[in-house]
Structure 1
Amino acid sequence: MFLWRAEVKPGVSVAFTDTGAGNLALHVGDDAGAVLRRRIRLEDATGIAPRRFQYMNQVHGNEVSVVAEPGTGAEPGADAPTADALVSLGGPLAVMVADCIPLVLVGAGASGPVLAAVHAGRPGLFSGVIPAAVEQMRAAGATDIRAWLGPSVCGSCYEVPAGLREEVSAVLPSAWSTTSWGTPALDLPGAAASQLDALGVPVEYRGPCTLENDSLFSYRRDSRSGRFAGLVWTHE
Structure 2
Amino acid sequence: MDGCKSFTIAPHCGFYDYPLPPRAPFHVRISLKGVRAQDEIERLAARAPFVLLSQVHGTRVLSADRALRYPGKDRADGLLIAPGDAACGLRFGDCAPVLILSLGMKPWILALHSGFRGTLKNICASGMALAREKFGSAAPQDLYAWVGPCISGTCYSRRMDDPSTAEALKIFDPEAVRVSAEYALIDLKKQIASQLREQGVPAERIFLESQCTCCQTDLFYSHRRSTRENDPRMLLTIQTERPQKSECT
- TM-score where L is the length of structure 2: 0.75
User: Which of the residues 82, 88, 111 maps onto 1:117?
Assistant: 111
Please say if residues 69 and 89 of structure 1, whose CA atoms lie closer than 8 Å, have aligned partners that are also in contact. Answer: no
Secondary structure in 1 matching 2:57: coil
Kindly tell me: are residues 97 and 207 of structure 1, through their superposed partners in 2, closer, same or farther at Cα, counting changes over 3 Å? Answer: farther
Match of 1:78 in 2: 71
Please state if 1:177 is matched with 2:183: no
CA shift for structure 1 position 216: 0.9
Secondary structure in 1 matching 2:18: strand
CA shift for structure 1 position 102: 1.0
Please state if 1:216 is matched with 2:223: no
Match of 2:3 in 1: none
Distance in 2 (alpha carbons) for counterparts of 1:146 and 1:94: 20
Secondary structure in 2 matching 1:4: strand
Distance in 2 (alpha carbons) for counterparts of 1:222 and 1:178: 26
- 1:114-139 Cα offsets, whole Å, 9 max, x none, are 12111101111111211000111122
Match of 2:51 in 1: 54
Please say if residues 84 and 118 of structure 1, whose CA atoms lie closer than 8 Å, have aligned partners that are also in contact. Answer: yes
Secondary structure in 1 matching 2:157: coil
- TM-score where L is the length of structure 1: 0.78
CA shift for structure 1 position 207: 4.8
- 1:79 counterpart letter in structure 2: G
* Bigger shift: residues 170-179 or 220-229: 170-179
Kindly tell me: are residues 52 and 104 of structure 1, through their superposed partners in 2, closer, same or farther at Cα, counting changes over 3 Å? Answer: farther
Distance in 2 (alpha carbons) for counterparts of 1:52 and 1:212: 35
CA shift for structure 1 position 81: 1.2
CA shift for structure 1 position 12: 2.2
Distance in 2 (alpha carbons) for counterparts of 1:109 and 1:136: 16
Kindly tell me: are residues 81 and 168 of structure 1, through their superposed partners in 2, closer, same or farther at Cα, counting changes over 3 Å? Answer: same
Distance in 2 (alpha carbons) for counterparts of 1:62 and 1:220: 22
Secondary structure in 2 matching 1:15: strand
The alignment-based identity, stated in percent, is 23
Q: Which blocks of at least 5 consecutive residues in structure 1 are unaligned? A: 25-34
CA shift for structure 1 position 178: 5.8
CA shift for structure 1 position 95: 1.6
- 1:79-111 Cα offsets, whole Å, 9 max, x none, are 221101111212232221100001122213534
* Bigger shift: residues 225-234 or 116-125: 225-234
Q: Which blocks of at least 5 consecutive residues in structure 2 are unaligned? A: 1-12, 243-249
- 1:21 counterpart letter in structure 2: V
Match of 1:38 in 2: 40
CA shift for structure 1 position 183: 5.1
Secondary structure in 2 matching 1:135: helix
User: Which of the residues 144, 149, 152 maps onto 1:151?
Assistant: 149
| Structure with greater contact order relative to length (CA < 8 Å, sep ≥ 6) | 2
Please say if residues 104 and 230 of structure 1, whose CA atoms lie closer than 8 Å, have aligned partners that are also in contact. Answer: no
Please state if 1:63 is matched with 2:60: yes
- 1:8 counterpart letter in structure 2: L
Distance in 2 (alpha carbons) for counterparts of 1:67 and 1:227: 22
Match of 2:88 in 1: 93
Secondary structure in 2 matching 1:19: coil
Please say if residues 35 and 232 of structure 2, whose CA atoms lie closer than 8 Å, have aligned partners that are also in contact. Answer: no
Match of 1:4 in 2: 16
- 1:17-43 Cα offsets, whole Å, 9 max, x none, are 101322x2xxxxxxxxxx2x33244x4
- 1:60 counterpart letter in structure 2: H
- The CA RMSD measured in Å over matched residues stands at 2.7
Secondary structure in 2 matching 1:14: strand
Distance in 1 (alpha carbons) for counterparts of 2:74 and 2:221: 23
Please say if residues 51 and 70 of structure 1, whose CA atoms lie closer than 8 Å, have aligned partners that are also in contact. Answer: no
CA shift for structure 1 position 191: 0.6
Please say if residues 118 and 129 of structure 1, whose CA atoms lie closer than 8 Å, have aligned partners that are also in contact. Answer: yes
Kindly tell me: are residues 70 and 13 of structure 1, through their superposed partners in 2, closer, same or farther at Cα, counting changes over 3 Å? Answer: farther
Secondary structure in 1 matching 2:185: strand
Please say if residues 168 and 175 of structure 1, whose CA atoms lie closer than 8 Å, have aligned partners that are also in contact. Answer: no
Please state if 1:103 is matched with 2:98: yes
